[in-house]
């Protein structure tokens, strides 16, 4: 199966999107077609950017950040769906619009989202010294979540079988490229820029501690009442029921939650329900090789 220009079809609601490469990184074709404008994106000094490899806990972090910025006010965080509150700068769905247009029209201070690897981050974010929050998730759960997301989201190519997708992920032949390169690239950059590097598993294990850390980075002191409120409203079960945070407002022709809900399991260790013993061994051997020499470590289960 070749992923490049796999289907010469637009995402018009019935067919899958096509993919192509930007500087060696696989991207949806509309992103490739708009790459010059995305690269030239003009950040503003008070922009707050949330950056992740896809399915690492972006939406969860966006919800927490919005709650912090709005002092725990539920009504204000429910003013619009996540993708409106946080323009996704490299995202273009021909039938819906582009994150770039949305971001350019947004008044400051802006909250933005990207999945770009560090080397593809529009340079303006670093030139303007913007605050960036990076969230990483252990790759086994990240892979499983991404696989199910491909199944339900027509704005990504069809994943193929589980076995095929497993290989695509390991070889980095998925949109936004290799997980290993992504997490390492941002990890190495964190000390040179205003980057807060967080982990999905920490958010899960000690949510209030991580929410407080986010508050400090953003510059908001949170009292215990607000902290409790944010932890409650950003828990998996509550977010799953919140139409402004669970992507149910996206047309079914793009995201079909009956195939797999966006808010699927929200767990650490679900990979054990998917990986065979042989796949796990192959994954671990590949992981040791690709992650050798980095100080990054992950929790794969509790
Ligand atoms: S995306 O499409 O890249 O923006 O997706 P992203 O938001 O990064 O990842 C979606 C996964 O995060 C889970 N999620 C949560 N887990 C725990 N707690 C909360 N509050 C929460 N919100 C979202 C979501 O369920 C997806 O993971 P899986 O494993 O598929 O359930």
- Separation of CA 60 and ligand 1 centre (Å): 6
- Separation of CA 134 and ligand 1 centre (Å): 14
Interval 170-187: pLDDT, tens: 999 999 999 999 999 999
Residue 83 appears among annotated catalytic residues: no
Residue 257, sorted as left (phi over 0), alpha (psi -120 to 50) or beta, turns out to be alpha
User: What's the order of all strands across the beta sheet hosting 111-114?
Assistant: 111-114, 48-52, 131-136, 195-199
Whole-number pLDDT of residue 15: 78
What token pair was written down for 152?
Answer: 């339900």
- Separation of CA 127 and ligand 1 centre (Å): 30
Model confidence at 137, in pLDDT bands (50, 70, 90)? Answer: very high
Segment 95-122 mean pLDDT: 95
Whole-number pLDDT of residue 3: 30
Whether pLDDT at 93 is above 90:
no
Q: Which atom of ligand 1 is nearest to the CA of 62?
A: 7
Q: In whole angstroms, what is the distance from residue 190 CA to residue 177 CA?
A: 20
Whole-number pLDDT of residue 88: 98
43-74 per-residue burial string, b: 16 or more CB within 10 A, e: under 16: beeebbbbbbbbbbbbbbbbbbbbbbbbebee
Identify the structural domains of the chain with CATH numbers, from first to last: 14-290 (3.40.50.300)
Other beta carbons within 10 Å of 111: 19
pTM: 0.95
Whole-number pLDDT of residue 97: 82
Measured at the alpha carbon of residue 68, what is the angle toward residues 46 and 119, in degrees to the nearest 5? 45
Interval 194-223: pLDDT, tens: 999 999 999 999 999 999 999 999 999 999
Ligand 1 pocket test, candidate residues 49, 55, 169, most atoms within 8 A of CB: 55
Binding-site residues, ligand 1, Cβ < 6 A: 52, 54-60, 141, 145, 148-149, 234-236, 239, 263-266, 270
């Amino acid at each position: 199966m070749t992923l490049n220009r796999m289907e010469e079809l637009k995402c018009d609601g019935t067919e899958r999107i096509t993919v192509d490469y930007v500087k060696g990184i696989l991207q949806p074709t509309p992103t490739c077609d708009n790459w010059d404008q995305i690269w030239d994106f003009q950040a503003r000094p008070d922009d707050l950017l949330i950056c992740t490899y896809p399915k690492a806990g972006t939406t969860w972090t966006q919800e927490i950040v919005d709650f912090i910025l709005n002092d725990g006010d539920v009504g204000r965080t429910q003013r619009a769906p996540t993708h409106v509150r946080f323009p996704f700068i490299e995202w273009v769905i021909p039938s819906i619009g582009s994150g770039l247009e949305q971001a350019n029209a947004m008044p400051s201070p802006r909250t933005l989202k990207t999945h770009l690897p560090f080397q593809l981050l529009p340079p303006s974010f670093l030139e303007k010294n913007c605050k960036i929050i990076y969230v990483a998730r252990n790759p086994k759960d990240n892979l499983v979540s991404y696989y199910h997301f491909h199944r339900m989201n027509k704005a990504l190519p069809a994943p193929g079988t589980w076995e095929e997708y497993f290989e695509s992920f390991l070889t980095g032949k998925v949109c936004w490229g290799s997980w290993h390169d992504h997490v390492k690239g941002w990890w190495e950059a964190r000390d040179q820029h205003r980057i807060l590097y967080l982990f999905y598993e920490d958010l899960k294990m000690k949510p209030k501690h991580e929410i407080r850390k986010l508050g400090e980075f953003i510059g908001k002191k949170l009292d215990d009442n607000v902290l409790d409120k944010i932890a409650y409203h950003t828990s998996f079960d509550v977010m799953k029921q919140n139409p402004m945070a669970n992507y149910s407002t996206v047309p079914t022709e793009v995201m079909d939650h009956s195939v797999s809900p966006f808010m699927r399991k929200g767990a650490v260790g679900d990979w054990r329900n998917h990986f065979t013993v042989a796949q796990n061994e192959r994954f671990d051997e590949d992981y040791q090789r690709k992650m050798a020499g980095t100080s990054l470590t992950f929790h794969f289960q509790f």
